Amino acid sequence: MGRTTFAALELFIYREAMSNLPPEVTQLRSQLTEATSIALVDNIQFCLVSTSFTSEVILTSYVCDGQSKSNQDTPILLLHGFDSSLLEFRRLLPTLATSHQTFAMDLFGFGLTERLADSQVSPEAIKEHLYYFWKTAIAKPIILVGASMGGAAAIDFALTYPDVVKKLILIGSAGMRKGTAAGKFLVPPLDRMATDFLRSPKVRREVSLKAYADSRFVTPDAEVCASLHLAMPRWSDSLIAFTKSGGYGSFAKQLAYLQQETLILWGDRDRILGTKDAAKFQSIIPNNKLVWIDNSGHVPHLERPEITAQEILKFL
């Protein structure tokens, strides 16, 4: 396929994706005020990803910024946290892209990536979709960055595909604690009640206030970014399916087999996962460096993006 034909296909996919987005997404987009938020939303692209767990192709949302200087340069791929989207990298990605080609994607079942009616969202499905996204959009070894739940997804991926991941970076990562069996009790109508509770603006604001060390970061723009994906079709279904799958549990026993040099970044005032897991990751992963981000909560890539980017680029 020639570049001109491929570009036309990309444009067609983008137009189809944008025309099928719920009007609520477009409406929320108009409420953004921060330049980095607007720029990242306007830079969203879509690609078609095929997997073995469904016969349908999955319309997958991502952004890509920056250019590789040569074929030997290693691109960066950013993975977001639970019930979030690639928008959580709105302040980090532009700085990384000044020196590295940088991708951020919406994991299967999350963000603006298409949610299928007949597919179950689980860590295995997320990993397979991630692999085929990588194969479709990048197809060369990467530096994999995962924040919170995205850290657990990154660990899982790096253990399964060690040749794909050149280096690993974990930001306030999940993956050290055992999963919960609570999902099996999410039977109708309790499952819908749970997601309706999570959809509540008041609840989401309280979570945001806990995620940041400095409450001034919980701005109207930040709240729009955190809720943009709620308007996607089957958001509730996907969240219920993921919870019922058990989600990500502990990788403590497998971490010793990680082959990649790993950077662990952790906010010193993390109130979501606390700070004890940072030392646990450091004690188990063979080749790692732990860096504390001062005066930061669970999302240093949003609260201290310049310092976070500096530590990542120093590591690379």
Q: What is the pLDDT of residues 239-292, one digit of tens each?
A: 999 999 999 999 999 999 999 999 999 999 999 999 999 999 999 999 999 999
Q: pLDDT grade, residue 184 (50/70/90)?
A: low
Residue 96: pLDDT above 60? Answer: yes
Cα-Cα-Cα-Cα dihedral of 296, 107, 143, 161, to 10°?
130
CA atoms within 13 A on the CB side of 143: 19
pLDDT at res. 138 = 97
**Token couple for 211:** 């995620």
| Centroid of chain to Cα 80 | 2
Q: Which pLDDT does position 15 carry in this prediction?
A: 57
What pLDDT does residue 192 have? 85
State yes or no: pLDDT of 69 exceeds 80.
no
pLDDT at 118 over 90: no
* pLDDT higher than 70, residue 209: yes
In the predicted model, is pLDDT for residue 106 greater than 80? yes
- Whole-Å CA distances, 143 to 22, 73, 249: 33, 10, 23
Residues 6 or more apart whose Cβ sits within 8 Å of residue 61: 17, 44, 45, 46, 85, 86, 105, 106, 111, 112, 113
Mean pLDDT of 166-183: 87
Residue with the larger pLDDT of the pair 296 and 14: 296
- Reduced to 3 states (helix: H, G, I; strand: E, B; else coil), residue 180 is coil
What is the band of 309 on the pLDDT scale with cuts at 50, 70, 90?
very high
Strands annotated E in 148-260: 165-171
Q: At residue 191, does pLDDT exceed 60?
A: yes
* Backbone Cα Rg of the chain: 18
Using DSSP bridges, classify how beta strands 142-147 and 288-293 pair: parallel, antiparallel or unpaired. Answer: unpaired
pLDDT over 60 (residue 194): yes
The mean pLDDT value for 61-84 works out to 90
Domain range annotation of the chain = 23-315
Note the pLDDT of residue 199.
93
Which superfamily, per CATH, for 23-315?
Alpha/Beta hydrolase fold, catalytic domain (3.40.50.1820)
Q: 3-state class of 293 per DSSP? A: strand
pLDDT band at 14 (very low <50, low <70, confident <90, very high): low
Question: For residue 13, what pLDDT is reported?
Answer: 62
Cα angle, residue 44 at apex, residues 42 and 50 outer, rounded to 5°: 160
Predicted local confidence at residue 26, as pLDDT: 79
- Rounded to 10 degrees, what is the CA torsion of 75, 81, 83, 84? -50
pLDDT of residue 18: 61
- Could you say which DSSP state residue 56 is in? S
pLDDT of 4 over the 90 cut: no
Give the C-alpha separation, 13 to 125, whole Å.
23
